Amino acid sequence: MTDLLAARSQMAVSLAFHIVFAALGIALPVLMCVAEWRARRTGDPGYRALAKRWAKGTAILFAVGAVSGTVLSFELGLLWPTFMARSGAAIGLPFALEGFAFFTEAIFLGIYLYGWDRVPPRAHLAAGIIVAVSGTLSGIFVVLVNAWMNAPVGFALAADGTLRDVDPLRAMGSPAALAEALHMTLAAYAATGMAVAGVHALLLRRPATRADRVAAAFHRRALGVALLVGAPSMILQAVAGHYSAATVARVQPVKLAALEGQWTTMRGAPLRIGGWPDERAQRTRWALEIPYGLSLLAFDDPHALVRGLGDVPPNDRPPVLVTHLAFQTMVGCGMLSALVAAWALWALYQSRRARRAGRPGVGLAGRPRLLLALGITAPAGFVAIEAGWVVTEVGRQPWIVQGVLRTADAVTPMPGLVVPFAGFTLLYVLLAAVVVWLLRRQIDATERTGPGRLTAEYPARA
């Protein structure tokens, strides 16, 4: 393994690990706030219990997200010192703003978690809302940095490769910024909401849960709130995803060609579903091709010219196979999850209409097939997030900053990078296992609490 590959792998592992916790840390506070708001509105202690459970989950995930984020901020320099030396001045501002958003989040999460009985109820909910807003903002600030790496602006490139006349404010307004920020924020809400909904849907299917009225009521509430956040986000993501692809087509035509497996420059390019790009033969085999689809989707014109990889010198091409497969995975998982989300929203609408009309409608809990579908597709959103990051990062190669700095020129001169790569991979695998195990036990603890325990454990505020 070369040092460059080891460095890239370590960065990939760190990001792949962090992004799960970041996405959950962005969206779980929203669920938590909705639950607490409902508890206040309805006086229903079940929602309060739910808010407390989600707050505990948020605490675990936020902490792991915080430490893995700290690791990343160091790794930027430990692995890519030349990148940081050259672009620190351009991308430091959003990182600084992210630091503050994160700080605010940490402070108010402390108040939220430990302040149930110490601050007035309204201040408590307000603290939760601040956590949710600052979490979302910190995610957006980090994505702005990535957008700059994909479509850098706000500087002049000197002959020696350094950046001159850096304008940090303009650097935050990369042409990729809006698309990426929208796509990632929705992804966090959609993936988290649908994952949480899936877990509770599966628990609702258990015979033991159905026999226990209190536990069933708990999971029904959880499912409802999670769907409220996750399902609309997952459906809206189709629009945001289209906008993202159109932006990539405009600002990173080579990446578009790679993710679509488009080898020849042509008008009226087809959209490929599936397929296996063969880099040696320079063609994509076995794809289902929809005529004019790519030109239409990327440029709103069935006859638009799409640039192919054949026009790009081989050492300026990203790895096509990985990028294309990751893109297909992302779109496939997103579509699947969006379908289930639409089904669930339709079911919610039906039962609400029945209730309004005074008929005994079928609630979500009474639809075992929907519950099963929600359970099976629960991880789909996160698979899509991981695949999406592979698309954006691998699709940008061989550049670390598109057109400005090559990844190979940015890596540290430190040899033996395979050692820290192996070490951090081991550490993260271990941590992931522990987190899953702990969260399972949190859920099991809910399962084990007999009738009345939940309300006794979390009495409603008088």
Please identify, using beta-carbon distances, which residue of 99 and 459 lies nearer to other proteins: 99
Does 153 participate in binding other proteins (rule CB under 8 A)?
no
Q: Identify which of residues 48 and 86 has a Cβ nearer to other proteins in the complex.
A: 86
Q: Which is nearer to other proteins, 19 or 383 (CB)?
A: 19
Residue 160 interacting with other proteins (CB under 8 A): no
Using the rule CB under 8 A, is 106 a contact of other proteins? yes
Contacting residue, 44, 167, 279, 447, with other proteins by CB under 8 A: 167
Region near other proteins per CB under 8 A, out of 30-38, 104-112, 207-215, 263-271: 104-112
Q: Does 103 bind other proteins (CB under 8 A)?
A: yes
Residue choice 63, 153, 322, 339 for contact with other proteins (CB under 8 A): 63
Residue 148 binds to other proteins (criterion: CB under 8 A): no
CB of 414 to other proteins, least distance (A): 5
- Strand ranges, E, within 303-431: 305-306, 399-401, 405-406
Determine the 3-state secondary structure of 287 from DSSP: coil
Contacts of 74 (CB under 8 A, 6+ apart): none
Among the listed residues 144, 111, 149, the one whose alpha carbon sits nearest the alpha carbon of residue 130: 111
Q: How many residues bind other proteins (CB under 8 A)?
A: 69
Query: Taking the mean position of all CA atoms in its chain, how far away is CA 279?
Result: 29
114 vs 276, beta carbon nearer other proteins: 114
Residue in 1, 42, 43, 70 binding other proteins, rule: CB under 8 A: 70
Q: Write phi, then psi, for 273 (nearest 5 degrees).
A: -110, 125
The answer to whether the beta carbons of residues 458 and 52 sit under 8 Å apart is yes
Q: Which is nearer to other proteins, 134 or 185 (CB)?
A: 134
What letter represents residue 3's amino acid? D
**Are 18 and 69 contacting, i.e. CB atoms less than 8 angstroms apart?**
yes
Instruction: Dump the DSSP string for 29-95.
Output: HHHHHHHHHHHHHH--HHHHHHHHHHHHHHHHHHHHHHHHHHHHHHHHHHH-HHHHHHHHHHHHHHH
Helix (H) or strand (E) holding 39: helix 3-42
At 308, is the secondary structure helix, strand, or coil?
Answer: coil
Q: How far apart are CA 132 and CA 138, in angstroms?
A: 10
Minimum distance from residue 27 beta carbon to other proteins (Å): 18
Q: Does position 95 bind other proteins by CB under 8 A?
A: yes
Burial code (b: 16+ CB inside 10 Å, e: under 16) for 108-136 equals bbebbbeebeeeeeeebbbbbbbbbbbbb
* Residues 72-91 interacting with other proteins (rule: CB under 8 A): 73-78, 81-82, 84-90
- Interface residue with other proteins, options 26, 111, 214, 234 (CB under 8 A): 111
Q: Between helices 81-114 and 45-79, what is the axis angle to 10°?
A: 160
Position 173 contacts other proteins (CB under 8 A): no
Q: How far apart, in whole angstroms, are the C-alpha atoms of residue 186 and residue 459? A: 34
Q: Which stretch binds other proteins (CB under 8 A): 32-40, 163-171, 204-212, 237-245?
A: 163-171
Residue 9 near other proteins by CB under 8 A: no
Q: Which CB sits closer to other proteins, 441 or 461?
A: 441
**What angle is formed at CA 245 by the lines to CA 243 and CA 247, rounded to 5 degrees?**
70
The least CB distance from residue 456 to other proteins, in Å, is 17
Q: Which of 16, 107, 216, 422 binds other proteins (CB under 8 A)?
A: 107
Contact (Cβ atoms closer than 8 angstroms) between residue 442 and residue 189: no
Amino acid at 210: R
Angstrom distance (rounded) from CA 18 to CA 63:
11
Element (H, E) at 125: helix 121-150
User: What is the nearest approach in angstroms of other proteins to the Cβ of residue 194?
Assistant: 24
Cβ closer to other proteins: 362 or 414? 414
Pattern 397-436, other proteins, x by CB under 8 A: ---------------xxxxx---x--xx--x---x--x--
Q: Which positions lie near other proteins, rule CB under 8 A?
A: 56, 59-60, 62-64, 66-71, 73-78, 81-82, 84-90, 92-93, 95-100, 102-104, 106-111, 113-115, 118-119, 165-169, 412-416, 420, 423-424, 427, 431, 434, 438, 441-442, 445
